[in-house]
Chain A
């Protein structure tokens, strides 16, 4: 049995070398064929090892396996999460703190900074699609959905942003100034949460610092980071953009409410159709 495993290991080594040569030669077809064979060999090898180690149960997930098909977004959080929250609940918590549409990266950072739990970024990639599927099969069955932010001009889903369905439409559309406005809003959210926390975790302070450096007058040095000052500075800049942004968003929100059905309002209209339609009008 051990011999077989060794044999398989040698075979995998050879396959990898062949793949490297195929890649150098620009032979994509051959490379992918070889990769397929490598994966198969890899599985055989895993099995051989498993048989070798038969007495004990295999520890940990097998190599190469990502979150399995069973890794549903509704699955409870891992051991270290403490509070048994689902992924969607954790995302909702983070978004609520931020108070504005945000990218998965920021959502993860906020959650891990404030809630001392884990939020694997990979889980967020399919979240919006799952939510949309759930909404379409049973509309409004849940108290909230994690939905898209919509681009103000075309009312199409804005790339890579998540929002909460219970937010007013104005908050969920993204005009040209909105990315900055939302950034400042998020900074305020983080700063205020820090102010409200007696002993803020170091990760949360680091998160605020990352905001602060990008806001004029928000910070003088990592040692002298003052959440109150950050919030004030963010508000000061926000005042510059707020009116124009609000006007833009309000107009777009009205259009969205007029033109889109309830699913469209949450997950975006067929943008191009709209674009063409608009051009035809």
Chain B
């Protein structure tokens, strides 16, 4: 959060419509995503009740568990969902040496496309990857649990399940884990993706309701965001987008229908009618969220894609390829919890991804960069003077090209002389701050506030130099090899420029011991995880 987003919220409230907080799209939107809207039975850890799933907005697959406490029916649900998801995943060739589609490892009979050669060590990055959308973060949490409760199952033995069930569990686990990885777009929550791009006139807590969030972003023609968001809170008109159901629905509708199914089962007759009635009621609860999730995808798709999105999607594709290969190679399921080394590795990777994401978003999007400008970590303004051909004698005695540029800015500048900045979009250029000189009355900038004259210059934009700062920068690098800058590599007078302390630099992974070298401070080497019978027949009640 920042003043910028906060102001956008205030503006949204007054305008009755969400305001953009991004000028480009920061998430990848697949051409053919898969939407999964699950419902769970209240009071249970992970009892699927129903779901809508599929990659065709016009043709959702409705899955219903008539008796959510029945283990057999739960596994039937998982198998059905598994087939649906693996059919979708199977459509993405997962790289590797002339392999079948990724899902094919499990879904016998789904023949994928071959994907080029690819050697033993070097795996080709798959050309595309699946993308699964849920309405909200809680949906991803449910997915994670569903993955956890199915991935250790086995297709043979005493508690055998449909072979597709453990494969589903491993994919769901992979996707849910990956969704925690900063910048990853393999599994997304619609509410979070939207909130990254729009600020509403309500609180972030209320934005967790997808219907109300979309009410602000895209209200119906006859009303405004405020009204639409309020209307969206009526559980009768807009059932919650899951996985929790509305208690009123549970008590007044669902309980009766489940009981009817039970009786029909016991009594032998009426079963079809009871099941149909239950399915219809659950479809009524799911359908609005299904449509809203697709609308969210559409809203996001309409935004132009940010420059670094494709790069991050490539990392996702690579991760997808790895996991597909792991499955193909008969690797074990993901363990219950990370070992010490695995946890530290993952944290390191997440921290590097988070740092990189923050920088990339700022470089891609002036509105995000503005947050850094407000914080004094970047500045933007107009060039008032430039000395593009300046050459000095460097420390080594060589003559080097060091142009000077004077930038005049309204931004609250807090960089100090000597700081090295970088211009977004010119990765090889550096700009060293030579001097910072406030022009006119001080105090309008936040960081420079001394409280002395803060109230001056209320007349708004335009007028004069009040609150402006002049910054002189010395450029180096990215201007070609000669002592005159390559054309266009040094800004000219009148150009609008931006310089920031941010830099998207590759950070190598930190070195950690091998798991079998885990030191005594961290419990010593863990027993390598091996799935057990115990895991496979774990109760799911």
Residues of A within 8 A of B (CB): 16-17, 19-21, 23-24, 59-61, 63
Contacts and interface: CB of A to CB of B under 8 A. Distances in A.
Given A60-B263, A63-B260, A63-B263, A20 B269 contact: no
Interface string B102-125: 000000000000000000000000
Interface residues of B, number: 16
B253 A59 contact: no
Contacts of B253: 16
Contact of B236 (A17, A60, A61): A17
Contact of A24 (B248, B259, B267, B268): B248
B268 A60 contact: yes
Interface in B255-272: 256, 259-260, 263-264, 267-270
B267 A60 contact: yes
Contact of A59 (B235, B260, B267): B267
Nearest to A42: B256
A20 B248 contact: yes
B248 A59 contact: no
Nearest to A13: B253
10 contacts: A19-B252, A20-B235, A20-B249, A20-B252, A23-B251, A23-B252, A60-B268, A60-B269, A61-B267, A63-B259
Contacts of B267: 59-61
Nearest to B273: A49
Contacts of A20: 235-236, 248-249, 252
Interface of B: 235-236, 248-249, 251-253, 256, 259-260, 263-264, 267-270
A84 to B, nearest CB: 20
Q: Interface residues of A: mostly helix, strand, loop or mixed?
A: helix
Contacts of A17: 236
A61 B270 CA distance: 11
Contacts of B248: 20, 23-24
Sort A-B residue pairs by CB-CB distance and give the 7 closest, nearest first: A60-B267, A20-B248, A59-B269, A16-B252, A60-B269, A20-B252, A19-B252
Most buried by A among B248, B251, B252: B252
B252 A59 contact: no
Given A59-B267, A60-B267, 5 more contacts: A16-B252, A19-B252, A20-B236, A20-B249, A20-B252
A21 B259 CA distance: 23
B56 to A, nearest CB: 29
A212 to B, nearest CB: 16
A20 B252 CA distance: 7
A56 to B, nearest CB: 10
A211 to B, nearest CB: 17
Nearest to B534: A221
A59 B236 contact: no
Contacts of B235: 20
A19 B249 CA distance: 10
B240 to A, nearest CB: 13
A23 B270 CA distance: 31
A21 B236 contact: yes
Contacts of A16: 252-253
Contacts of A19: 252
Contacts of A60: 263-264, 267-270
A172 B252 CA distance: 43
A238 to B, nearest CB: 29
Given A19-B252, A23-B251, A59 B263 contact: no
Nearest to A23: B248
A59 B251 contact: no
A61 B263 contact: yes
Most buried by A among B248, B249, B259: B248
A63 B235 CA distance: 27
A63 B257 CA distance: 10
Nearest to B246: A20
Nearest to A16: B252
B432 to A, nearest CB: 64
